[in-house]
Structure 1
């Protein structure tokens, strides 16, 4: 029997980021920082995948991706 396990992953497109810092200000866990004018994920393990960064990014540079892994 095979079951699907869903998880989420934080994805950042540094090429699209303009360094506005909106996501940094909204992150409730303080996971995001600005480094050299682009977004940086300090510790993805602390990220609760709430989606606030994705919701407010004007450049669509950060989003939560749903991943599915098959378990046997």
Structure 2
């Protein structure tokens, strides 16, 4: 399992494909890993995750929390 902590692009460079390129490079360099990001972000940034998940098997989607994690 691999972890990307709060991906962020400066507003001046948003919608230029930088985050998509970065996440794509990570997946290409480490194809056998499952990638996860900070939870709870999907609702407000669903359009972003739809775009960067294009071509990713299963896309990026919110999943249930592990039983040892408490929301909040």
TM range (shorter): under 0.3
Which entry has the higher C-alpha Rg, 1 or 2? 1
Q: TM-score, normalised by structure 1?
A: 0.27
Larger RCO, structures 1/2 (Cα 8 Å, 6+ apart): 1
Of Structure 1 and Structure 2, the greater helix share is in: 2
TM-score for the superposition, normalised by structure 2: 0.27
Larger fraction in strand: 1
